[in-house]
Amino acid sequence: MKIMKGLASFSVLLAVTAQPVHAAVSGKISLMSNYLSYGLSQTLDEPAVQITTTWSGESGLYLSGWASQVDFGEGTDTEMGIYAGYSMSINEGYSLDAGVAQFFYEGADISDDYKYNEIYTLLSTPLINLGLHYSWDYFGSGAGYTVVQASRQFSISHFFNLTLGADYAATDDKNRYSILGESDYLHYFVRAEKEMIGLQWSLSLHETTMPESETDEARVVAGVGWSF
């Protein structure tokens, strides 16, 4: 499988790089019942294998690789991303993460046209977590695309973690890139997570404000992952 081969090579590269600079390498392999990006399925509501691996330096610098199965209905079957960023603690309970990412796709002749870059920043506080993502050429369309995120995590009696979240996505040029015909929409979700028998289990419910269609249907997503 090209996802496994690509991320395995990336993991080896990070591990070799990490040793002389006293950095750490971590990763996770997950099986998801559906791959949702801001509430919209990227797999035609089918399951997906996902892999991520991260090199973290003592200074706060990090490099991360990501891959997932996708299905856009035209032959594209793989999404991959590379992140480079810096994470720092501001104060007790507060942290800031900022970086750049590039996403690219494989599987069809047209897949390479979807490649795009993104800048992002994430702020974590004891009360709420906030995120901002911006791409100036989303999916190679030439249109700007902005996503604003907010979430809050709760620990439920030490049995599992519960996350409530929402994100707002908008394109700045509907003629170049539209979100299934729309210029913006809201996605909100609730997710429960628990670690058990050495695996990370998750169950989430997602809804969007997309017009009445199959994209407007609430979706339940289950997942299981193994961290290394």
What is the CATH number for 93?
2.40.160.40
Which residues are paired to 63 by β-bridges?
Answer: 55, 84
Give per-residue pLDDT as tens, 148-167: 999 999 998 778 999 999 99
Give per-residue pLDDT as tens, 118-132: 999 999 999 999 999
Q: Give whole-number Cα distances, 156 to 36, 70, 153, 194, in Å.
A: 25, 33, 10, 10
Mean pLDDT of the chain: 90
pLDDT of 210 higher than 70: yes
Task: Look up the domain containing 47 and give its range.
Answer: 2-227
Give per-residue pLDDT as tens, 174-194: 999 998 889 999 999 999 999
How many domains would you assign to the chain?
1
